[in-house]
Amino acid sequence: MLQLENVNAYYAKLQVLHELSLTIAEGERVGIFGHNGAGKTTLLKSCVGDMADISGSVRYKGQAIVAGQVHLNVRQGIGFVPQGHNVFRELSVERNLRIAGLMHDPAYADTVYALFPILKERQQQLAGSLSGGQQQMLALGMALMTRPRLLLLDEPTTGLAPIIVRDVLASMRAINQSEGTTVVMVEQNVQATLKQVERAVVLKSGRIIFDGPSQQLLAQESLWHLF
Ligand SMILES: Nc1ncnc2c1ncn2[C@@H]1O[C@H](COP(=O)(O)OP(=O)(O)OP(=O)(O)O)[C@@H](O)[C@H]1O
Ligand SMILES: [Mg+2]
């Protein structure tokens, strides 16, 4: 479904990804781990065409992802939730979800509310006045409103209480299992994430140094210093 081949990505003179190749099959749940600055965000940005200076090939469902054309690329069925909260702060929860779902099925908001009941409770509240964790859930909900086939999440549980972290990660798995959505998430909550994904990828200085079953990463203590 998603195929990167020999990708090099740069910010001006700084090369962040080095000859990176990665293939993700439809329906997989993949966790991306690594230290701060390892290139995790850059990898996700490369998948949606959000890196201007890039070489190599990035393909989604066989089609080339065009650098610099994020809005067009995501229309092919990619939901991208960037790091940090991305909601319309001056609009209500309900309006945020409706706007995100404009091109799709507004009634899907009910499914999102079922996943995150707190959003239903706060339907009329301005998004900017939600707690950080609630905004995070709303950003996820907005991505889901576009009914993506591939969901790319950059640290979706940052700032959430541990119990909520578990819920959010479990809900990603539920979406994957009920709708077949492919889920790729960058996470700092490694232990909790490994319980919900089946495959783990570890980045170090812009290179993949582990790619295998999450159980294998859990068992291999010698690798734990890498994230
Ligand atoms: N817009 C930018 N301009 C210049 N350098 C950048 C930019 N964004 C990231 N970098 C640099 O690229 C490298 C990789 O950054 P990236 O954001 O991909 O790391 P990350 O693995 O997501 O880290 P974190 O865990 O802190 O989110 C870092 O050295 C960072 O300083
Ligand atoms: Mg990052």
pLDDT at 194: 94
pLDDT at 49: 96
The reply to whether ligand 1 has any atom less than 6 angstroms from the CB of 45 is no
pLDDT at 133: 83
Q: Which protein residue has the closest C-alpha to ligand 1 atom 7?
A: 11
pLDDT at 102: 86
pLDDT at 227: 84
The reply to whether ligand 1 has any atom less than 6 angstroms from the CB of 14 is yes
pLDDT at 220: 87
Q: Give per-residue pLDDT as tens, 89-134.
A: 999 999 999 999 988 888 899 999 998 999 999 999 999 999 888 8
Question: Which regions of the chain are under pLDDT 70?
Answer: none
Judge if pTM exceeds 0.85. yes
pLDDT at 211: 97
Cα 184 to averaged position of ligand 2 atoms, centre (Å): 14
Assign 215 to helix, strand or coil: helix
| Identity at 12, one-letter amino acid code | A
Count CB neighbours of 8 within 10 A. Answer: 17
Q: Which protein residue has the closest C-alpha to ligand 1 atom 29?
A: 37
Cα 190 to averaged position of ligand 2 atoms, centre (Å): 14
Contacts of 111-116 with CB under 8 Å at 24 or more apart are: 111/144, 112/141, 112/144, 112/145, 115/141, 115/144, 115/171, 115/174, 115/175, 116/140, 116/141, 116/171
d(Cα 80, Cα 200) in Å, to the nearest integer?
A: 19
The reply to whether ligand 1 has any atom less than 6 angstroms from the CB of 41 is yes
| Atom number in ligand 1 closest to CA 39 | 18
